[in-house]
Amino acid sequence: MKRFFISLLAFWSGLLAAADQNATQAKLHTVKAAPFRIELNLKGVLTPARFSEMKIRPEIWADLTVARDAMAHGSQVTEGDLLVSLKKEKIEQQLMDWELSLEGTALDLAIAQAEYSVATNNAALDQQAAAETLARLEVDVKRYLAKTRELNTRSAMYSQKSAENSLAYAQEELKQLKKMYEADDITEETEEIIVKRAQHSVDRALHFLNRQRHSTETSLEHTLPREEADKQAALTRQRLATDLAQATLEEKLAKLKVELDKKVRAQKLAKTNIAKLRSDLALLTVRSPIAGVLYHGAFVEGVWGGRKSVQTKLRKDGKLTAGETFMTVVAAGELRATATLGEADLRKVAPSQKGWAIPTADPAARVAVTVESVSRIPTAPGQYTVVFKVAVADQSYLHPGMTCAIQLRVLDKPKAVTIPSKALRAAPQGGTMVWVKTQTGHLEREVTPGNSHAGKTEITEGLNEGDEVLLP
C-alpha cells in the first residue's frame, strides 16, 4: 500500500510540473478594469400593434366565390366599409329550399304526433277489446261443448227421424187409400187422381228422407266436427292474439315513440342547419371591423407574409379557402417591431431594455424601441422572437412590413473586470476555473463569470486588477 501512494504522489508531481512548464510557455493576460459594453445588432420587421384578420369560417357552406374585385391593397378604410363581397345566389336558393323543406317536416311532425297520441289511446282499447273478445269466445266455446254440440247432433238425428216418419205416414196413407178405393164405388178417374197424389207424397217423402240422411251423415261426420274444430282454433288464435297484444303493447308504443323522436330530431337538425346557413350567408359580406389600412394577406407572428398567395383569389370569380386569412386591416398609429434572437444571446435580453431602430427607408433616422417580450420557447431551431414597442413619434411614413436594424445595448458598465473567454475552463467537480500566475509558478483558481460577449467574459468574483491569467 505504501508503494502505491508513493507512485501516485510521483504521478501528480509530474503532472503539476508539466502544467507549470506549459504555463511558462503560454501567453499571459493581465487583468484590469475597463468599460464593458454589450450591444446586439438585430434585423427587425415593423409589425402592427393592433390589427384585425379577415377570414371566413362557414359552418356549412363551402362555395366562397368572389362576386367582384375586392378593395385594393393599401386602401384606407373606416369601420363598416365593404372589403369584399362573395356570391350569394346559390346559398340563398339553398336557404329557400331548406326553409320550404322545414315546413314540410313540421307538417310531418305534427301528423306523427297526432298519430302517436291516437295510437297510444287506441293501444289500451285494442288490448281491452282483445281480452273481451277472448272472454266471450271462451264462454261461447264452453257453451257449445256443454250444450250446443249435443243439441246440434240431436237436431240432425231428429231431422232424419222426422223425414223417416213423414215417409212412413205417406206410405201408410197411400196404403189406406188403396184399401178404401177398392171397397167403395168412386169412379176410377177420381180414384186414380187421389192415388197419384198420395203416391207423389210418398215419393217426395222418400226423396226428402234421402236428402235428410245425406245431410245428417254430413253434419255428424263433417259439419259438426269441423264446427267444433273451428271454434277451438278460433279460441286458440284469439288467445295468441290477446297474448301478443299484451306482450307487444309497450314495444309497439316504444317503436312509435322512436319514429316520433326521429322526426323531432330531424326537425331540430333542420332548424339548426338553417340557422347555420343564415349565419354563413351573413359571412359572405365582409366589412372592416376597425378603421385602418387594408393589407392583402396575413401577418404571421406579426410579420406580413405578402399578398402573392391571395392576389388572384381576391379578384372576381376567385375562390377563397375557409379559415384562410385573406386580408388584414391594420390600425394606424401604434407599431411593434419583431426580431430574431440567437440562443447564445437569449439570457442577455429582458423586457424594458431600450434601444434604437434604424428604418431601412431612412438610415439617418433613429426610432426609440423598448423590449416588450421575449419568447420562452424557440420559434425556430436555436432562434427566439423578441417583440419591441416602437415610439413612432413623427415618422408617419413607417408602416407594418417595413424592415429596420435594431441596436440594443444590454450591458454598459464603465468599469468591469474582463478576461478572454478562452481562459475559462470547467472543473470536473463543477465551477469555472482559470490558471493564475504566482511568484512560485501558476495556481488554479475558481472564478464567478458574468456576461460574455465578443470573446470577453466579465469576472464578478475571483480575480483582481493586476492578476495575470494564463491563455491557452
Q: The CATH number of the domain where 293 resides is what?
A: 2.40.50
Indicate the pLDDT class of residue 343, thresholds 50, 70 and 90: very high
Contact 84, 327 (CB under 8 A): yes
Q: Which amino acid is at 120?
A: T
Residue 334 has pLDDT above 50, yes or no: yes
DSSP state of 380: B
Question: Does the pLDDT value for residue 316 go beyond 80?
Answer: yes
Has residue 355 been placed in a domain? Answer: no
* DSSP code, position 421: G
3-state secondary structure of 390: strand
How many domains, the chain?
A: 2
Average of per-residue pLDDT across 305-313: 90
Instruction: Write down the pLDDT at residue 83.
Output: 96
> What local confidence, expressed as pLDDT, does residue 23 receive?
45
Q: Which residue has the higher pLDDT, 142 or 180?
A: 142
Query: Over 60: is that where the pLDDT of 187 sits?
Result: no
Integer angstrom CA distances of residue 391 from 275, 334, 355: 47, 8, 11
Instruction: Answer yes or no: do 182 and 212 share one domain.
Output: yes
User: Does residue 82 sit in the same domain as residue 188?
Assistant: no
Q: Tell me the three cell numbers of residue 73.
A: 391593397
Shared-domain flag, residues 258 and 316: no
Residue 433's closest CA among 450, 418, 445? 445
Q: DSSP code of 168?
A: H
Virtual CA dihedral for 351, 356, 357, 361, nearest 10 degrees? 170
Averaged pLDDT, 159-187: 77
Nearest by Cα to 410 from 29, 3, 19, 41:
41
All 3 cell numbers of residue 184?
Answer: 167403395
Of 462, 300, 304, nearest in space to 379 by CA: 300
**Is residue 19 pLDDT above 90, yes or no?**
no
Euclidean distance between CA atoms 303 and 138, whole angstroms: 92
C-alpha cell at 85: 363581397
Domain-embedded: residue 73:
yes
| pLDDT value of position 183 | 67
pLDDT tens column, 31-48: 888 888 888 999 999 999
Which domain does 273 fall in, by range?
91-281
Q: Which distant-in-sequence residues (6+ apart) come within 8 Å of 471 by Cβ?
A: 26, 27, 28, 29, 420, 422, 423
Query: Across 8-17, 73-82, 196-205, 232-241, which has the greatest mean pLDDT?
Result: 73-82
Q: In which residue are the cell numbers 491557452 written?
A: 472
pLDDT tens digits along 346-357: 988 999 999 999
Residue 176 has pLDDT above 50, yes or no: yes
pLDDT of residue 4: 40
pTM for this entry: 0.60
Q: Give a yes or no: residue 167 inside a domain.
A: yes
The stretch 198-227 carries a mean pLDDT of: 83
Do 177 and 325 fall into the same domain? no
> What cell numbers appear for 467 in the block?
492578476
- Tell me the angle at which helices 224-283 and 89-143 cross, rounded to the nearest 10 degrees: 160
CA dist 340 to 367, 375, 402, 453, Å? Answer: 18, 10, 15, 18
Q: What percent of the chain has pLDDT over 90?
A: 35
Q: How far apart are the C-alpha atoms of 336 and 83, rounded to whole Å?
A: 25
Domain-located, residue 117:
yes
95 and 83 share one domain: no
Q: Average pLDDT, whole number, for the chain?
A: 85
Residues 56 and 73 placed together within one structural domain of the fold: yes
Tell whether 187 and 299 lie within a shared domain: no
Q: How far is CA 190 from CA 185, 229, 296, 358, in A?
A: 11, 56, 135, 159
Of the ranges 48-57, 219-228, 461-470, which one carries the lowest mean pLDDT score? 219-228
316 burial (CB, 10 Å; 0-12 / 13-18 / 19+) is: exposed
pLDDT at 18: 47
User: What integer pLDDT is reported at residue 184 of this predicted model?
Assistant: 63
- The confidence score (pLDDT) of residue 342 equals 93
Same domain for 58 and 73? yes
CATH number at residue 226: 1.10.287
At 256-289, the pLDDT tens digits run 888 888 888 988 999 999 999 999 999 999 999 9
Mean pLDDT of 395-411: 88
**Cα–Cα distance, 466 to 449 (Å, whole number):** 18
Least confident of 108-122, 329-343, 356-370: 108-122
Highest mean pLDDT among 128-132, 240-244, 265-269: 265-269
211 lies in a domain?
Answer: yes
Residues 131 and 262 in one domain: yes
pLDDT tens for 101-123 read 988 888 888 888 888 788 777 77
- If asked whether residues 139 and 70 sit together in one domain, one would say no
210 is a domain residue? yes
What pLDDT is attached to residue 395?
A: 67
> Does residue 178 form part of some domain?
yes
Q: Is pLDDT larger for residue 14 or for residue 448?
A: 448
What does the block give as the cell for 145? Answer: 261443448
269 domain residue, yes or no = yes
Residues 122 and 266 placed together within one structural domain of the fold = yes
Among candidate residues 259, 281, 303, the one where a domain is terminated: 281
* β-bridge pairing 425-426 and 432-437: antiparallel
The pLDDT value given to residue 143: 87
* 3-class SS shares of the chain: helix, strand, coil, % to 5: 45, 25, 25
Pick the last residue of a domain from 263, 281, 299: 281
* Phi and psi angles of residue 138, each rounded to the nearest 5 degrees, phi first: -65, -40
Residue 338 has a pLDDT of 94
pLDDT at 151: 85
In the predicted structure, residue 9 carries a pLDDT above the cut 80: no
Residues with Cβ within 8 Å of 267's Cβ and at least 6 positions away in sequence, in order, are 102, 105, 106, 109
Q: Are residues 128 and 262 in the same domain?
A: yes
Whether residue 147 has pLDDT greater than 90: no
